[in-house]
Amino acid sequence: MISQFFVLSQRGDNIVFRDYRGDIQKGSAEIFFRKVKFWKEDGKEEAPPVFNLDGVNYIHVKVVGLLFVATTRNNLPPSLVLELLQRVARVIKDYLGVLSEESLRKNFVLVYELLDEVIDFGYVQTTSTELLKSYIFNEPIVVDAGRLPSLGPASLFMQGTTRMPGTAVTKSVVAHEPGGRKREEIFVDVIEKISVTFSASGYILTSEIDGTIQMKSYLSGNPEIRLAFNDDLTIGRGGRSIYDYSGSSGSGAVILDDCNFHESVHLDSFDVDRTLSLVPPDGEFPVMNYRITQEFKPPFRINTLIEESGNYKAEVILKIRAEFPSSVTANAIVIEMPLPTYTARVNFELEPGAVGQRTDFKESNKRLEWSLKKIVGESEHTLRVKLTFPQELHGNIIKEAGPVSMTFTIPMYNPSRLQVKYLQIAKKTKAYNPYRWVRYVTQANSYVARI
C-alpha cells in the first residue's frame, strides 16, 4: 500500500497531492524535492527512482517534465509502485488528452476524481481507462496542444499534414469533437529504445532493443481489429544463428528474444500467420512489449581521439557519423563526456558552417556537453575540444576521461526491422477513419562509447 501520491512541477510546485493513510509527516513533497534537486550521493547528477529518507520510501518517475511520486513506510516491491505511477500518468493523459502542468491545474477536479477511483486508502483498485468511464462524471477542460512543449511521440511529427496531424493523439478519449461528433480513429506507434556500448576501437560490445507497440483507440462500438507483422518474425532463437539471413525479406529474419502482450490480445493465429486480434480498450495501451539482443546496425558511430599537446594541454576530437539513410533525420541529439577532474579551462571549436549546435562545459562535474538540433542521415559532424590544466599532467588522461554517452530520437526509423504490415478493422463503418501508416520512433536508452 502507498501512503501518499503527489505530482510536482519542474520548479517543485505541488500540483496534485493526496494523503491516503496519514502516517507520513506533512511537508514530504518539499522534503522530496529538496533531496532530489540537490542529490550529491555517489557523485550522481540525478536521484535514483527509489530511495529512503528518515524511514520513508520515496518512489518517483518523471513524465514530460512532471514528477509523479509515491511515498510509503512499507517494504513494497519498487517495480510495482513504479508501474503504478506510469499507469496513473497514462490514465490522466487519456482523460485530459495532454499531460502538462497547465492541463493538470485546469482539470484538478477531474484528476482528483480519477485518483479517488484508482487508489483507495493506499490500495490500487483499477488503472483501466475503459473501466473508469463508468465512475467518472466530470468533463475535461481541453488545453490547446499546439502551443504546449509536448515530449511524447506525437510531438516528433509535423503538424498540419494531410495524412496525420501531429496533435491527433493529444485528445481526450472521453471528449467529443465540436458538434457532438465522435472521433473514429486509431493510432499505432512502434517505439524502440536502444542500448549500445562501443569499445575504444569502435566495435560493438553490447547491444539491445527494448520495443513497445503502443496503440491509442478512439473507435466506438468496440470493433475487433487485426494487426499483422513480418512473416519472418521469430520469437526465441531456437538454435538459429543471429546471422541467419534466410528471411523472406532478404535482409534477415526479425528475432525477438522474448515478448509479452496486452490482456486483450488473442494469439489464436499468431503462430500461423503472425497476426494478432484484439478488441482495443479506450485510451492508450501497449499492445506488445519485446526485447532483442541480437546484433543490429547502430544508427550512429562515435569516434573519439585524445591527444596531449603539452604538459598543461590536451585536445579531444569527437566525431559522430549517422549510419541511417539520408531520408531520415534524428532530433534532439545530446553528447556528453566526463573530463579529468583537474580540468581548468575548455575551448570548443565547431566545424565551419555549423548550424543548430551548442556546446557547454559543466564546471560542477567536469563534463562537456554537445547538443545538435538535428542530424541528417549519412552526415558526419566533428567537435574539437582544447583542454587546459593548472598543473603538469599526471596519470593517464585517457583513463580519466569518458566514456562518451549519447541521447537522441529518430522518427520513422526502427533498427529491429519489425513492421506492422497492416491494421484491419473486422466490421468497418463509414465513420471509421484509420490512417494507412504506422509511426516508428527510435530513442537512445543508453548509447555509450569507451575511450
- The backbone region for 125, taken as left when phi is positive above 0, alpha when psi lies in -120 to 50, beta otherwise, is alpha
Residue 176: predicted pLDDT:
63
Does residue 343 belong to any structural domain of this protein?
yes
Q: How confident is the model at residue 291 (pLDDT cuts 50, 70, 90)?
A: very high
The pLDDT, as a whole number, for residue 177 is 60
pLDDT tier at 5, thresholds 50, 70, 90:
very high
331 with 441, same domain: the answer is: no
14, 310, 320, 338, 398 from 314: Cα distances, Å: 46, 7, 20, 14, 10
Mean pLDDT of 227-242: 73
Residues 364 and 377 in one domain: yes
Q: Give the model confidence (pLDDT) of 174-189 as tens digits.
A: 776 655 556 678 889 9
Residue 92: band (very low, low, confident or very high) from pLDDT cuts 50, 70, 90? very high
In 323-379, beta strands by DSSP E: 329-338, 345-350, 357-362, 367-376
Residue 163, phi then psi, degrees to nearest 5: -90, -40
Contact between 290 and 236 (Cβ < 8 Å): no
Q: Of 132, 163, 192, which one is at a domain's C-terminal end?
A: 132
- Own/partner contacts of 173-181, CB < 8 Å, gap of 24 or more, are 173/94, 173/95, 173/97, 173/129, 173/216, 173/217, 173/218, 173/282, 173/283, 174/95, 174/133, 174/136, 174/139, 174/140, 174/282, 175/97, 175/139, 175/140, 175/142
Q: Among the residues of 387-436, which ranges form H helices?
A: 397-400
Do residues 86 and 104 share a domain? Answer: yes
The predicted-structure confidence for 150-167, as pLDDT tens digits, reads as follows 444 544 444 333 344 444
Look up the CATH number of the domain holding residue 65: 3.30.450.60
Residues 309 and 387 in one domain: yes
Per-residue confidence (pLDDT) for residue 125, from 0 to 100: 94
Q: Are 305 and 252 found together in one domain?
A: no
* Beta strand pairing call for 186-198 and 204-217: antiparallel
Domain assignment present for residue 114? The answer is yes
Q: Are residues 15 and 101 in the same domain?
A: yes
Q: Are residues 223 and 352 in the same domain?
A: no
DSSP class per residue in 181-196: PPP--EEEEEEEEEEE
CATH number at residue 260: 2.60.40.1170
List, in order, residues 6 or more apart from 71 with CB less than 8 Å away. 2, 3, 4, 24, 28, 32, 56, 57, 58, 59
Domain membership of residue 143 (yes or no) is no
User: pLDDT tens, 245-274?
Assistant: 343 334 567 889 999 999 999 998 898 899
Same domain flag for 351 and 292: no
Does residue 167 sit within a domain?
Answer: no
Range of the domain at 317: 300-411
Higher pLDDT, 438 or 277: 277
Q: Are residues 426 and 407 in the same domain?
A: no
pLDDT, residue 46, reads 80
What is the average pLDDT across 28-46?
Answer: 80
| Total domains, the chain | 3
Contact criterion met (CB below 8 Å) for 96 and 107: yes
- 17 within domain boundaries: yes
42 & 80 share domain? yes
On whether residue 83 sits in a domain, the answer given is yes
Answer whether residue 160 is part of any domain.
Answer: no
Does one domain contain both 101 and 11? yes
SS3 228: strand
Residues 183 and 65 in one domain: no
Residue at 161 is within a domain = no
